[in-house]
Chains A and B, each alone.
Chain A
Amino acid sequence: MSQEINSTNQNPAGDLLVVENLTTTFQTARGALPAVGGVSFRLGANEILGVVGESGSGKTVLSRTIMGLQPRTNVEVGGSVLLDGHQIVGATDEDLRDIWGTKVAMIFQDPMTSLNPVTKIGKQIGESLQVRLGMNKAEAKARVIELLTLVGIPSPEERYDAYPTQLSGGMRQRVMIAIALACNPTLLLADEPTTGLDVTIQAQILNLLDELQLKMKMSVILVTHDLGVVATRTDRIIVMYAGRIVEMGTTKEVFRNHKMPYTRALLESTPRVSNPSHTRLQTIPGRPPNLLKLTEGCAFAPRCSRATEKCSQERPTLEPTGVDGHYFACWNPLEDQAAPVSIQTGTIKEIGEDNVRG
């Protein structure tokens, strides 16, 4: 898998991040759990990459492993992650400390639990400024107030002394963003940055991220289960299922010409404004597979309307579609779609039969 991508996507000069055949396996009491099962992709400078998939598809573990932030016990990481020349796989916390915060930073999923509850937010943001950038107290405080203003927190001087519990969810997520941006990282990993927030706040936070990405010239990996979130904000998309990439391409290609039935299913389970009201939302039947019991075949096969005998016996590899940078892993790919995905009520099976030509 990794060779194919290397051969067709040779662009080492512009790549900030090169991930090759990355695996993250948790040793659990019930056996080895391959949370990330061989992922390869590249990310250019200033690029925004969306990583989508259901809960449990390995998105969060992937983003943490890319940063080297996975737990240190009972985990095995294989493959390679080169971030601006730094090998992340196999590095210790001590090795990575130099690039954490300054080269790569993360916005965590849940602003309720990711901020230290007993430390003032100003201190939490300023800490890396003092420890990592060697600012003194006054410099750090001035910079923190700048950062708070940058992420749109009103009356930043007062908020400097607030504890996380005194702020709303949206405000806390802004604080998280300020922490992540404090040391001007070149790569920002945003792990479901809006999941815990209500919809209007979600849009604000995402717009803020867009704006800051332009301003600060960062590459961003935006991890989400919500395709609506990535549609207008990313250059490229990776669709993950059961710890593997099942489709990857430019955002436009993936939305218009997706090949993988799972991508289709994800798209159809996203509500759209253009739908008539009371349109029933699609769901994907079944559950994500138990990663402890993965079979030889395609992990999506049990839930897939197009599954054949082959699907349950042999795992499809990522194949190029011919359109540059667009890959998919499916034995029975969807045909080219002239029109965007239509939304109907009913199950995936019906859609599979009615909607897909061929």
Chain B
Amino acid sequence: MSENLTGLVKIIGISILLVLLWAFLAYQVPENFLKPNNIENLLRRTALFGILGIGVSFVIISSGIDLSIGSLVCFIACLLALFLSVSYNPYVSTDVLEIKAADKKLIVNPDANFSPGQTVRYYGGRRARNAMLTITAIQPTEYEGRQASEILVDQALTRDDKTDSGNRSVGKIAAMYPISAVSGDHLNIPFGQLTPRDRVWFVHPERGLKEKTVAAVEPTGSTPGLNRVTFTESLDGIDATYIAIPLARKQKMSVPVAILSVLLIALGLGMIHGVLITKLKQQPFVVTLCGLLIYRGLSRWLSNDQTLGFGNEFEGSLGLLATGRLVLWDSGGSSFGIPYSFFFLLLLTVAAIIFLNFTIWGRYILALGRNEEAARYSGVNTGRMTILAYILCAVLTGIGGILFALDANSIAPSSFGNFFELYAIAAAVLGGCSLRGGEGSIIGVVVGTALMQTLYNSIVLLKIPDELEYAIIGAVILIGVTSDEVIRMIASRIKRE
């Protein structure tokens, strides 16, 4: 039998199983299974898990294992959320160092760019209440031996306060600007630095605070320095009695830098796995088991165990990678489109097939998975190729992590990505990878993933108690992987008789 034939038989077998399952669902619960929404979901989940499956199949083919995938997905997701975290701070503001309520005095950092006559908002204090103040005078002073500014205001704050070792500031003051010509979704403001995606606080002495996002800014032309600002939504309930605090949008890293950084981190971690396994002769199981624990712990620590997300910051841009779709058909009420992430899977599948089957490195990985010693005796640098397999796995996990993060937009560091490594390994094994190494095909892994996701889907659709989910998936994998051995045994017995 030729070397590709056994693999082909496996792929055909599992594909038939998949089609049968689809046919069964389409017959049994047609309205639910064939709903465009359901198919889209199935495609999206297959895409995301398929990418992880392709990654781990390289490692499995090299006769290794990677248990750290789920934790790495979470770690990468957390890093991405942190790298792309967005904050809004007043354009003109400073920390308050001391409040002398009776004297109507504030001591602030000297870099403050304020002038007498300006209205400012005091907020964020520990003791004193928020307030709107007008500056009457500014003079240099000293605070605890260093330069500071003393600001005199028109009214007294509620309480005295002072910085101490625990607090480097006792609140902030931010410059405020009057607004005029408020109508619909735009208004005029005498402030020139606002740019689209910035935000503005509208503060009213009695009515509290509202926050709106800037859509466009243009000079009015009539008065120098006066700008016409359009917002993303209408300014209902806001009028000229409000005073505005312009907020600058600050994103920790640009999108390309953030994505490149997390992928490089994934690559580095994969390389560390590979080096520990090849140069320090550690067992893959142990190395990646430690990775599983370490990345999970780091994720929880980096995020203070708080759920992270991207809010709606990247809805129309980066987020489309995970949530967008190519609409194929739209009939008003319902529509069907192929999720962009599915195209990712197709792209990566093709790339992985080419790598594994048509490059020398792919052949080396297959060879060393079959017989590492013989590969070494044939001049294959087996150490370097093993490291490469772990790097590929980690980078694909990184890509998967990015997509999972954008898709979920809610990353709970203690549970995000749990068991993903087992789904990936199970899909690879279902798809014909042997944990002994040297055997496996990319197509098989993708079909295996689709089968797993369809199973998951059918548990939901057929209203099987979801407590049974793992039991059913486990049983099907077991049947899938033992069936070909059983068939082979029966076949050889028949042949003998």
B and A form one assembly = no
Query: Which of B's residues lie within 8 Å of A, judged by CB?
Result: none
